Amino acid sequence: MFRKVLVANRGEIALRVIRACRELRIPTVAVFSEADRDSLHVRLADESVCIGPPAPAQSYNHVARLISAAEVTGVDAIHPGYGFLAENAHFAEVCASCGFVFIGPTPEMIRKMGDKSVARHTMREAGVPVVPGSDGLLGSVEEALPVAEALGYPVIIKATAGGGGRGMRVAWDQKQLRAGFGIAQAEAGAAFSNNAVYLEKYIERPRHIEFQIFGDTHGHLIHLGERECSVQRNHQKLIEEAPSPFLSVEQRRAVGELAVRGARAIGYVNAGTMEFLFDQDGSYYFMEMNTRIQVEHPVTEEVTGLDLVKEQIRVAAGEVLSRTQDEVEWRGHAIECRINAEDYRHGFRPSPGAITYWYKPGGPGIRVDSHVYAGYVVPPYYDSMVGKLIAYGKDRPEALRRMEIALEEMIVEGIQTTIPFHQLALRDARFQRGDLDTHFVESLLKTDPASSAEGRAVAR
């Protein structure tokens, strides 16, 4: 096992990794920017190193500073958490070349799945269904037009270096494709220094369902079931649950096996997520693969009883996965609400600042993953999540009821949070039926009298 681990992240995920290391009796090193000097991850780690000014480019995304921190503290492994450098193949490569274990997949796997067109091709070859689309990249709108004609409109133009919803453009007819193609290329070039795009048939009102997979270095690969992630806005997930209220036991097994087959095709190791879009008629398609631990991993932990972060560290140290596929059992239902420092009534406008009062809920089946405390100041430089509220129950109604009670109990003063949004969502009849798609938030806000018109416009 590792002698010491550097946690290359901040916020709740830094705490989550420190706790997992504690359980494994591994000392930890926290890194922090000047804006995070008073953060809990700094206090809870065994050692800490300031790595620079608040701007992520000067701190949490600064490869040389992170490696220096790893060198001076003598760690043997680095956990990247999520966001920042977690899916940066170059960082994973530098870690390895400097003699540190990157707790995650190899640079080759990150690079392959980070290129969406390559990922799509790889999965199709492996027998995983992908959305009908172009055979690779398209160099010009002249090349795109006949492909779109064959697919039928609407189509979606995607940046191959994109992902997570960035660099996409929908075209409902030939005119929009002509107008949008060059813009999509230019946007992709500006955002990712790579203007390559490809085309897919556009699936209207899909569900976003993702499968957690896990591989070790001994050739074992398993899936841990799915998470329903359709409740999102601007590609930021707000509510996730496991299992999906939409999938049958047979579908879970079938899609889970496909997810494993896809991951096996690249010899995947460590934690990964295969994202699928589910059509209204039940057809499903591979979308992209995330090569990191995800924000919403706790709902999978709650229903499988597996500690995914501990498992990441164990697998990175060369240990065998703690369960075979046959030993994975799902029990009950879990739901996660992301508590963000945002005012949902005004287009989820960020609301950083001092938290003057903080009371976190408890009781049976309630888990709060948060780095926040009374007196903490939410900095404006990073994402606005102040915590994750996770409710578990024997079934979906019990989990939802526990979540409602916890949202009511929770007290956050000094900043606006997404708590009232979650209360609105949970009361909704469609949500209660599990009748979800990626347009759920938009339609919810349309009928909410508290949401301002300009807020709804921003939300679209």
Count interface residues toward ligand MV4 (CB under 6 A): 17
Segment 253 to 312, residues that bind ligand MV4, using CB under 6 A: 275, 277, 287-288
In whole angstroms, what is the distance from residue 136 CA to residue 45 CA?
46
Q: Cβ closer to ligand MV4: 235 or 394?
A: 235
Structure tokens at 430: 């469609």
**Min dist. Cβ of residue 208 to ligand MV4 (A):** 4
- Binding characters for ligand MV4, 184-203, by CB under 6 A (x = yes): ----------------xxxx
Rounded (10°) angle between helices 107-114 and 116-125 = 100
Q: Which residue among 235, 331, 446, 460 contacts ligand MV4 (CB under 6 A)?
A: 235
Q: Which residue among 232, 290, 304, 340 contacts ligand MV4 (CB under 6 A)?
A: 232
My answer on whether omega of the bond before 379 falls inside 30° of 0, hence cis, is no
3-state secondary structure 235-268: CEEEEEEECCCCCCHHHHHHHHHHHHHHHHHCCC
Residue with tokens 């209220």: 245
Q: Cβ closer to ligand MV4: 164 or 375?
A: 164
Q: Cβ closer to ligand MV4: 48 or 438?
A: 438
Q: Cβ closer to ligand MV4: 35 or 118?
A: 118
**Min dist. Cβ of residue 432 to ligand MV4 (A):** 21
Contact of 455 with 345, CB cutoff 8 Å:
yes
Segment 418 to 457, residues that bind ligand MV4, using CB under 6 A: 438
Q: How many CB atoms lie within 10 A of CB 183?
A: 11
Structure tokens at 192: 């990712």
Q: Which residue among 8, 13, 92, 156 contacts ligand MV4 (CB under 6 A)?
A: 156
Which of the residues 10, 120, 292, 345 is marked catalytic? 292
Q: Cβ closer to ligand MV4: 208 or 227?
A: 208
Q: How many CB atoms lie within 10 A of CB 217?
A: 15
Q: Cβ closer to ligand MV4: 201 or 323?
A: 201
Q: Which residue among 206, 256, 361, 365 contacts ligand MV4 (CB under 6 A)?
A: 206
Question: Does residue 89 interact with ligand MV4 by CB under 6 A?
Answer: no
**Min dist. Cβ of residue 439 to ligand MV4 (A):** 8
Does the annotation mark 460 as catalytic? no
Segment 93 to 152, residues that bind ligand MV4, using CB under 6 A: 131
Q: Are strands 236-242 and 333-340 parallel, antiparallel or unpaired?
A: antiparallel
User: Which residue type sits at 254?
Assistant: A
b/e sequence 409-443, b meaning 16+ C-beta within 10 Å:
ebebebbbbbbebbebbbebeebeeeebbbebbee
Q: Cβ closer to ligand MV4: 206 or 272?
A: 206
Radius of gyration of the chain (CA): 22
Under DSSP, is residue 52 helix (H, G, I), strand (E, B) or coil?
A: strand
In whole angstroms, what is the distance from residue 95 CA to residue 8 CA?
11
- Spatial strand order of the sheet with 366-369 comes to 284-290, 270-278, 207-215, 221-233, 236-242, 333-340, 385-393, 366-369
What distances in angstroms separate CA 352 from CA 210, 370, 415, 456, one per listed residue? Answer: 30, 16, 7, 21
**Min dist. Cβ of residue 209 to ligand MV4 (A):** 9
**Min dist. Cβ of residue 273 to ligand MV4 (A):** 11
**Min dist. Cβ of residue 126 to ligand MV4 (A):** 19
**Min dist. Cβ of residue 158 to ligand MV4 (A):** 7
Please identify every residue annotated as catalytic.
292
Which spans of this chain sit near ligand MV4 (rule: CB under 6 A)?
Answer: 131, 156, 164-165, 200-203, 206, 208, 232, 235, 275, 277, 287-288, 438
